[in-house]
A and B are shown apart, each in its own frame.
Chain A
């Protein structure tokens, strides 16, 4: 279209134009809508990212916990093995040969001889039991007990 003209104002050019106020309002509405939709979309994206991140994070946590669990199990087994080894080491130190050697060489002890032993026989065949004298109420209680025995 030929834009050049010597007319100061070409009213025809502005005939199809919508009133300035309405057009700006509509544009603003569209812009607002556009902005809203951008925000909404961004929100969706953020939510998706967050959800995926949480999913990944939970998997990572799970893997790490699993690794920690396995490590703890391995540590327990190692400690159990170490416990067994230390128990054996202790048994070795407490072997009868070592004890005897230490007692004789370091503590200057000697084995006890027969005359140092005294045997006491406990008589388990006849037993004498002294009956404690009961109080009045004790007697009543015993009487009731005997009823049900």
Chain B
């Protein structure tokens, strides 16, 4: 038998091999078809899950601007320092040197307690936050430290965002703040969180298996983030500054137990130009108690009570009293009662009222603030000027409960104003059927129904603007990320509560409130203003006995009103409680700054010009005779000359200082020591007496405020008592007319 394969054997082998190859090929192709065609989605999914990584691109939160595009809130990139404790060398490996180096380095760089950092380093996990939201300089220093010491695998810097508030405490309770995830938690940040937040984006890309780096691939999908919209507020930073400055001075002077609040609003459009609640807090540290006086009060409590008291104080400091606090408005409410009476014709300007100092309503004796024998006979206008309670009880009675409640509703006092802030309070009031004789009487002078400050400002705006109840608002425009305006808040007029004629008459009467009383604390030199003060006893549950809210609302220019300025001082402890004494000077101070800022030209009367100060001219370097002549030319008297020289080498007051027209300038003609005097305490004295005392010491006196010779007294002196000053120094005194509402 031959061992050589035959042809047929070879042919058979060839067929078998071919069949086997074809079969194998078919299996392979079948498998490929199964993977690539039939189960394409499944296997693509597996591959994508393995190879693709979605990365979230966080949007930038929108910026909050004031009406002049000054930045009030803006977000920026910061970093969180994250430690992976399990990645640190074990003690056995290097005796704990790496850990020690790490802990000490981080503690020094980030100003942390080394023990706290060590505690985190000893944990058995991969994620410990060492410090969050550090800025670029600190992040760069940490990176340098890690690179130098080869600690990159243990510490990582993760990008985050931080919200910055450059003005820290300005309009804090209005602007609000955000949480750790940049979500709005309070104020406008909360109300407009959706607009400010934006929408995150995504990038889905191929990553390599080694270190997760991006690999170029045409299938990379990117969804760009939509950055948050920005808000342009109606707030004016400068007006806000004026308001807060004046309120701060009021806090120092009157030490109110429950703080102060103020609102400046455009009466025609409802744009809120300023809104302040003090004591305030730092928006960059919203979880820290800011008020030093409150901290001192808590420090005196027993230790076990301090933590709870601090938490309560932190919550309290955020409250926006201007919109959430309800109180009995007192005599400021009389503007609405008067408007209603005039509109309905139950009274007119010549209606007569008699005030014996009290009024008996059923079994209640309601006193007038002036006491017995009262205001006597007075007309409607004087009833408002005198803020006479018995007169307004009479007016309320003439209106009756139905009409009273009708106008209470018409002025928007039964509903929220709709201001674009969270947490607006609800008023509490008697409706028509609940208004008995006594409640109607007390409601007529503002001592029963409780409303919020913003409701009061909106209602008084309607009294003076032609009768239109507008919706107050804080956001003027919303901008997209490119700065395009996508929404502008329109002026919303809800209804007309009173006619234009009644409104015009009320403006005139509110002006009389300011001008009828000599040396009124509400008078602003050069401007026609109107207003009404209020002093109300607090009667909310939990209120102490005998505590008052002092308030004043002013409107200017009264002939064509543009702004309303409202100030409320809650529980003044200075001894003064009346709104006309405590709150009116604050409103005057605010208006003195705001009206020129808004472009209103002052028109001074002859009396104004007489009492206005002049400016000390430059006299240094001049000859004595020339200096005297110069002083005479500006209306100042003969100077006091110290020395025998012929040329002035020094002058007091210095050039540009305000000096009263009858003031005296001290001229030094040789290098002699200045004559010094000690400032006495003149607070509480009448202005004339205070002036006389200071002028005897060769000091110049400027008195701001009321010049009433009988009722005014000095409440502030700009240089403290016992201070040594050179003769000729100008002392500024603030004088306030005391009295009642």
A contact residues vs B (CB 8 Å cutoff): 62-63, 65-67, 70, 77-78, 80-82, 84-85, 87-92, 95-97, 110, 113-117, 119, 121
Contacts and interface: CB of A to CB of B under 8 A. Distances in A.
B166 A66 contact: no
Interface in B50-97: 70-71, 74-78
Contacts of A116: 615, 656
12 contacts: A63-B213, A66-B215, A81-B77, A81-B161, A82-B136, A84-B164, A85-B78, A88-B76, A97-B167, A113-B658, A115-B613, A119-B601
Nearest to B612: A115
B515 interface: no
B601 to A, nearest CB: 5
A88 B214 CA distance: 34
B12 to A, nearest CB: 38
Interface of B: 70-71, 74-78, 135-136, 161, 164, 166-168, 170, 213-216, 237-238, 241, 525-526, 596, 601-602, 612-615, 656-658
A71 B215 CA distance: 13
Contacts of B77: 77-78, 80-82, 84-85
A88 B74 CA distance: 7
Contact of A91 (B71, B75, B602): B71
A79 to B, nearest CB: 9
A96 B241 contact: yes
Nearest to A85: B76
Contacts of A121: 601
Contacts of A113: 613, 615, 658
Nearest to B592: A114
B238 A96 contact: yes
Contacts of A67: 213-214
Contacts of B612: 114-115
A95 B240 CA distance: 12
Contacts of A63: 213-216
Contacts of A78: 77, 136
Nearest to A96: B241
Given A63-B215, A88-B164, A115 B615 contact: yes
Given A66-B215, A89-B166, A113-B615, A81 B237 contact: no
B216 A66 contact: yes
Given A81-B76, A84-B76, A114 B166 contact: no
Contacts of B596: 117
B166 A92 contact: yes
A110 B659 CA distance: 13
Contact of B602 (A77, A87, A96, A114): A114
Given A62-B216, A67-B213, A110-B657, A115 B74 contact: no
Nearest to B601: A119
User: Which 4 pairs from chain A and chain B are nearest by CB?
Assistant: A81-B77, A91-B166, A85-B76, A84-B76
Interface core residue of A66, A89, A114, A117 (most chain B CB under 10 Å) = A114
Nearest to B609: A115
Given A85-B136, A88-B76, A114-B526, 17 more contacts: A65-B216, A78-B77, A81-B77, A84-B76, A85-B78, A87-B74, A88-B71, A91-B166, A91-B167, A92-B166, A95-B170, A96-B237, A96-B238, A97-B167, A113-B658, A115-B613, A121-B601
A91 B612 CA distance: 36
B733 to A, nearest CB: 14
B143 to A, nearest CB: 12
A119 to B, nearest CB: 5
Contacts of A87: 71, 74
Contacts of A88: 71, 74, 76, 164, 166
Contacts of B74: 84, 87-88
A104 B601 CA distance: 26
A12 B164 CA distance: 110
Interface core residue of B74, B166, B596, B614 (most chain A CB under 10 Å) = B166
B171 to A, nearest CB: 12
A35 B568 CA distance: 107
Given A78-B136, A85-B136, A87-B74, A66 B214 contact: yes
A97 B602 contact: no
A119 B602 contact: yes
A119 B75 CA distance: 42
Contacts of A117: 596
Nearest to B161: A81
Interface core residue of A65, A66, A77, A88 (most chain B CB under 10 Å) = A88
B111 to A, nearest CB: 19
Nearest to A108: B654
A117 B136 CA distance: 46
A118 to B, nearest CB: 11
A81 B75 CA distance: 8
B432 to A, nearest CB: 48
Nearest to A93: B166
Contacts of B214: 63, 66-67, 70
A35 B539 CA distance: 115
B162 to A, nearest CB: 8
A83 to B, nearest CB: 8
Nearest to B135: A85
B70 A91 contact: yes
A92 B70 CA distance: 11
A63 B213 CA distance: 9
Nearest to A78: B77
A92 B658 CA distance: 31
Contacts of B216: 62-63, 65-66
A110 B658 CA distance: 9
B164 A85 contact: yes
Contacts of B166: 88-92, 95
A121 B526 CA distance: 16
A95 B71 CA distance: 10
A70 B222 CA distance: 13
Contacts of B167: 91-92, 95, 97
A139 B161 CA distance: 69
A91 B66 CA distance: 12
Contacts of B136: 78, 81-82, 85
Given A62-B216, A92-B168, A114 B238 contact: no
A92 B663 CA distance: 40
A56 B648 CA distance: 89
A96 B136 CA distance: 27
Nearest to A65: B216
A120 B74 CA distance: 40
Contacts of B71: 87-88, 91
B728 to A, nearest CB: 16
Contact of B75 (A70, A84, A89): A84
A77 B136 CA distance: 12
Nearest to A99: B241
A116 B596 CA distance: 13
A80 B76 CA distance: 8
B102 to A, nearest CB: 25
Contacts of A119: 601-602
A78 B161 CA distance: 11
Contacts of A97: 167, 241
Nearest to A111: B593
Contacts of A65: 216
Nearest to B139: A78
B657 A114 contact: no
Interface core residue of A62, A78, A90, A113 (most chain B CB under 10 Å) = A113
A115 B213 contact: no
Contacts of A89: 166
